[in-house]
Chains A and B, each alone.
Chain A
């Protein structure tokens, strides 16, 4: 029974409940901004297709930068705390979301678009009623990848005072408290799997609902 008492004590002392809420808030805030920016960007790139290749190359370079390095680079610009964490996760997430949005919109079966046009839908109506819904499974897959990134970056953000569960990890490292690091690490891992499962469920639903 001592192991449960130990975990309970750690949970209480380190304010796990509060930190978890903080962590999830940061996560949802960051992923929401990423979705809005990523989907818009993906759509814009379908409209100006000539630059899309260059643009994705630039995003790929950002993607290869290590997270910690990116955070450190952002500190002189925006200080420490939540701001660099959110900016870094959005920068990482733009690529998967924008790329999947772009691919989804571009790869809609041309027969559907042609039929929609022939029966008298305008370009805007085709985008909203045909191309976008038929791209939902792709976009969802992009968001799912992005959410895994975001969860990781938000955790690392704890190291630069963004709060959340990463903060507890840092305390554990600092005090060389293996027990604390282990409990926090497992809890973060569990939450990450939970979020991913929820999104996988959503993605499967969208695939069933909107697939041809």
Chain B
């Protein structure tokens, strides 16, 4: 796993997802092999200390019924010797983070909460010690579809704010595509394929992955994929900033070995194809290209391109061009290997 990413473990029940997750906090002992965090084997940590520094969220009965919400969230800080004032502040902070009013919910018991509220409290408890690694075992599995979607959205927002490394187990492929930076697909206790959502959809390792990912139904995933998943990457050497003259652009065009170049001038981006016979004069404007952020949903980008008769758009990451989205290539890719 890479630091800061959300890796989804997905596979049918009995494929070993939860077992793999529980090995991470030494709830299950591996038969062989080793697990390391920051180059230190987890076996060299005291299991209790290790678990206190790994956030843990599960589907069912995560909360202790005889403790209030405050006591549930504060249980690990409390046994770790925090002062009561510090625990109270932390609990309030966490409840607000998961959109629950501390005044209302702090002193309630878990049985007085709805399923969605319990799940939020479970998340707050996992965040109590501000762990850098979190394990989530089907956290939204027990919720009804509408609530699940809502909590997934909230969780995605939260994830952006928190910057945690998260291992997330689910058997719901749509959820996996929605929340995951990368997916790890398991079957019969074996890891079949690890990759970004588009890699999984476009190049499934075997028939099992293809059927699981619904590679034949790729258009379903337009809502989950972001433009960065499907763009063609740009090399820095393809970009020229504020050229002094049309001649400089022409020289750059002649010299480059790339198919196209990006020109940035007066806050506007231009995309120039290489096989351009006509040299660039004053009419560079016809090459002006629209831009999208990397996190734009593919479906939104495509809809916009259709409405504006655009076939090519530039993808920017913090004002820096990093890729090109070709509508045509995208469609080929989506239809591609099915």
Residues of A within 8 A of B49 (CB): 120
B100–chain A nearest beta-carbon distance, Å: 19
Q: How many residues of B contact A (CB 8 A)?
A: 24
Question: Given known contacts A125-B79, A133-B66, A134-B66, is B56 in contact with A119 (CB within 8 Å)?
Answer: yes
Q: Does A118 make an interface contact (CB < 8 A)?
A: yes
Question: Given known contacts A114-B27, A121-B48, is B64 in contact with A130 (CB within 8 Å)?
Answer: yes
How many Cβ-Cβ contacts under 8 Å join chain A to chain B? 57
Please state if B61 and A109 are interface contacts (CB–CB under 8 Å). yes
Residues of B within 8 A of A117 (CB): 27, 51
Please state if A111 and B61 are interface contacts (CB–CB under 8 Å). yes
Q: Which of B95-139 contact A (CB under 8 A)?
A: 111, 125-126
Contact of A119 among B60, B65, B76 (CB under 8 A): B76
Q: Does A12 make an interface contact (CB < 8 A)?
A: no
Residues of B within 8 A of A116 (CB): 64
Query: How far does the alpha carbon of A130 sit from the alpha carbon of B64 in the complex, in Å?
Result: 8
Q: Does B75 make an interface contact (CB < 8 A)?
A: yes
Q: Does B62 make an interface contact (CB < 8 A)?
A: yes
Nearest-CB residue, chain A, relative to B52: A120
Query: How far does the alpha carbon of A116 sit from the alpha carbon of B22 in the complex, in Å?
Result: 13
Query: How far does the alpha carbon of A130 sit from the alpha carbon of B72 in the complex, in Å?
Result: 11
Residues of B within 8 A of A122 (CB): 48, 79
Q: Does A211 make an interface contact (CB < 8 A)?
A: yes
Q: How many residues of A contact B (CB 8 A)?
A: 21
Please state if A120 and B62 are interface contacts (CB–CB under 8 Å). no
Residues of A within 8 A of B48 (CB): 120-122
Residues of B within 8 A of A210 (CB): 65-66
Nearest-CB residue, chain B, relative to A209: B66
Question: Given known contacts A111-B60, A112-B61, A129-B75, is B66 in contact with A118 (CB within 8 Å)?
Answer: no
Q: Contact residues of A with B, CB < 8 Å? A: 109, 111-112, 114-122, 125, 129-130, 133-134, 209-212
Known: A112-B65, A120-B50, A212-B111. 14 other contacts (CB 8 A): A112-B64, A117-B51, A118-B27, A119-B51, A119-B52, A119-B56, A119-B126, A121-B48, A121-B75, A121-B79, A122-B79, A129-B75, A133-B66, A212-B61
